A and B are shown apart, each in its own frame.
Chain A
Amino acid sequence: MTEPNLLITASPHLSARDSTPKIMWHVVLSLVPVVAAATYFFGVSALLVLAAATLGAVITEAVFGTRRTLWDGSAAITGILLALTLPPGLPMWMAFIGGAFAIGFGKLIFGGLGQNVFNPALLGRAFLQAAFPVALTTWPVPEGGFWELKGDNFAFPFVSPHPIDVVTGATPLGLMKFDQAGTELWKLVLGVTGGSLGETSGLLILLCGGYLAARNYLNWRIPISIWLTVAVFAQIMHAINPGRFPDGVFMLFSGGLMLGAVFMATDLVTSPVTHLGCWLFGLGIGVLVVVIRIWGGLAEGVMYAILLMNAMVPFINRATQPAVFGHATRGTPA
């Protein structure tokens, strides 16, 4: 018998079929319907903002990241998710800078994939909100033709955007907070309201999240925990003062809660590794969202709620170590 060229590797010699790039590209795939909905509601402006933010993210990854993680899809996810938090009329150069910041300062500066503390897309959005507060709070209403721009998308970098004659309006949360005006539920569920690209169709986001959860690419405990907390907390406040505080269902379907709970809070890297930790993480986000929306100075609180809880993840992980088989107590933190 001829001596074959034998390979020597460590066991196990089999592996599950999932891989990190496969998980990442599945998340991108699951975002396609959400992107399509954004395009349906906001026309070509949605695609321009999406393209600019994604390019900003991917180019930054290509220039400053490692070759290994360029094609794993994680930079594309960050860009798309960032774009989905932005208003459709945002100048493209701002979206591009947001994407670059999200990858550069949200991820690479920590050491790249897997090392970052905060959700990069949300960090990018927080940066944009601080840098361009007016542009980030100009919400065109979803009407008009496909080719009709929802703002000065093509504004020249670092000059004030040209005012474009589009109908803008407050988001449902803004209406609620500043005008005490409600929005019909069906509009919220289907997404026919003013707002960012991705805070539109709650129903669609639920379906996409369900797909990822079924493949075990996101921990379903996080969104469920967030929704339960928000619904219960908001409903209690609503019972105390119905005139001032909106009910739980409105809270669930308004603003970026759906997108945040399904796609942002469940980011594998920046969420806890234990199931108990995921429940606590969701609980914290839910409480913060309601607190910020009701008592904070901002109409929307999902972004800061998730970013604040991201910072808590290492502590949550330590506190929720699983009880090792055959031990009476839970594991001790390192």
Chain B
Amino acid sequence: MRLTDFRHGVHPPELKSLTAGVPIRRMPFPDEIVIPLRQHTGKPARAIVRPGDRVERGDKVAEADGNMSVPMHASAAGTVRDVRLWPHPDGAYAPAIVIAVDPNSPQPHRPRTIPDWHGLAPKELIEAIRQAGVVGLGGAAFPAHVKLSPPKDAHIDTLLINGAECEPYLTTDHRTMVEYPQRVQLGIRIMMRALGVTRAVIGVEENKPDAIEALRATLPKDLDVTVQALHVKYPQGAEKMLIKSLLGRDVPSGKLPMHVGVIVQNVASVATIAEVFETGLPLIERIMTVTGHGVRRPANLIVPVGTKTGDLLAACGGLTPEAREIVFGGPMMGNAQADLDAPVIKGTTGVVVLTGADVKPRASYPCISCGHCLDACPVFLNPQLLGKLAMAERYDDMTRQHLADCMLCGSCSYTCPSNIPLSHLFALAKAALRKPKAA
């Protein structure tokens, strides 16, 4: 079969060798855990604990607020210290539950709060996944139960599992696929049952041959699940690009994958769905890569959700003297962190610590109309024109130039020889357009 691909995109250096071969290990419990109430796309959860309350590992500490929301759970046993504003990984201060971890607790697996999956009907599976607080672990943290409940008129024929992991540095999904292929397969089985689909395709970039091999060796005999190697190209893991690459389908502008009969779920989320049913514990920890030349011992770790950045880095030997910038997520789309107290959340795919040499300031030049950004844009926008409009604050003209289709992947900024912060300008324009207009 000919390997299909999406058009355009960029080829950043992979930089994954720091952690690609490092087995996943569990980090020790920190002294304090911070659970922000907003960790997902949708409405923040509502806290149901008060300062002084005793919580066990896996206890629900915040309730979902409506359907487009998920509950939060304590990732360690301890005492609620406070419910207050706390530095959030997105840069703002946001409400969070602060838990003092009980140093004497063995942090046991409690009796299961999530039922066994075997006898469950699709609806019950989805409800259990919702109760477990599962969201997409690929970055956007979209509530999993919403994705698993497409409207009746959507005809879903294929479940796509996103194992592309096209961001440089990160090996979170890679190690998950290599070390827990059975769990990935079980998660796919559960999702296929919940969705009622008969076909699943796992897409993995071909720079992870061991992951492809592990998944192929564990494919279920009774289900139509296949593993497809993908070209190594950024942003191969973007939902619309992945659907184009694997199925050749174009998701119409402003529509969701379900409009072309597809549900996409990240491979780590799929493994987590399986884990939730296996252990009976909700989503309270996740696998993440801590890497970059700014950290002493790059690692792939199982991290309690709510672990503060400083504690996480300390578990990796701390920062090197050259460390200059701490990024949550991959270097292409990730957020720089201002505060070592900001906790990792469900959607944190990794922490990359860049050095002074990595982030050396570069001069910015005027646009020379080279057109490289047009060749890079995976959704075929004209970033050159959009950039000029953004600098003139002509945001309504940007809307007419399809700014809404921009997913802020950063390919244009990456490729720009004049070092114009294009995707940053587009993010600002999107924010300005979201604000209600003054009368």
Interface, chain A (partner B; CB < 8 A): 1, 3-16, 18-23, 68-69, 72, 112-115, 216, 219, 268-275, 317, 321-327, 331-332, 334
User: Which residue in chain A gives the minimum CB-CB distance to B311?
Assistant: A1
Q: Which residues in B have their C-beta under 8 angstroms from that of A20?
A: 365, 368, 417-419
CA distance A104 to B52 in the complex (A): 73
Chain B contacts for A12, CB-based, 8 A:
12, 331-333, 410, 413-414, 423
B337 interface hit (Cβ, 8 Å): yes
Contact of A334 with B389 in the complex, beta carbons under 8 Å: yes
Inside 8 A of B359's CB, which chain A residues have their CB?
Answer: 7, 9, 13
Cα-based distance from A16 to B415 in the complex (angstroms): 5
Please name the residue on chain B nearest to A277 by beta carbon.
B371
Q: Are B382 and A322 in contact (CB under 8 A)?
A: yes
Q: How far is the CB of B169 from chain A (nearest CB, A)?
A: 9
B409 to A: closest C-beta gap in Å: 8
B326 touches A6 (CB 8 A): yes
Known: A11-B334, A16-B415. A332 touches B367 (CB 8 A): no
Q: How far is the CB of B351 from chain A (nearest CB, A)?
A: 12
Q: How far is the CB of B299 from chain A (nearest CB, A)?
A: 16
By a CB distance below 8 angstroms, the chain A residues around B384 are: 273
Interface: B74 (CB within 8 A): no
CA distance A68 to B370 in the complex (A): 19
List B contacts of A321 (CB < 8 A): 382
* B→A interface (CB under 8 Å): 10, 12-13, 168, 240, 244, 250-255, 310, 313-314, 318-319, 323-327, 331-338, 340, 352, 354, 358-359, 362-363, 365-372, 374, 378-382, 384-385, 389, 394, 397, 400-402, 405, 410, 413-419, 421, 423-424, 427
A14-B12 contact given A7-B325, A334-B401, CB 8 Å threshold = yes
Q: A14-B168, A68-B365 in contact; A6/B324 too (CB < 8 A)?
A: yes
CB nearest neighbor in B for A24: B368
Known: A1-B313, A326-B379. A273 touches B369 (CB 8 A): yes
In the assembly, what is the distance between CA of A12 and CA of B326, in Å? 13
A8 touches B325 (CB 8 A): yes
- Please state if B335 and A11 are interface contacts (CB–CB under 8 Å): yes
Per the bound structure, the CA–CA distance linking A271 and B370 in Å amounts to 8
If the complex has contacts A6-B326, A112-B366, A113-B366, are A216 and B372 also in contact, measured as CB distance less than 8 A?
yes
A-B pairs with lowest CB-CB distance, top 3:
A12-B410, A114-B366, A10-B424
7 CB-based A-B contacts, threshold 8 Å? A1-B340, A268-B369, A273-B384, A322-B380, A324-B380, A326-B253, A332-B400
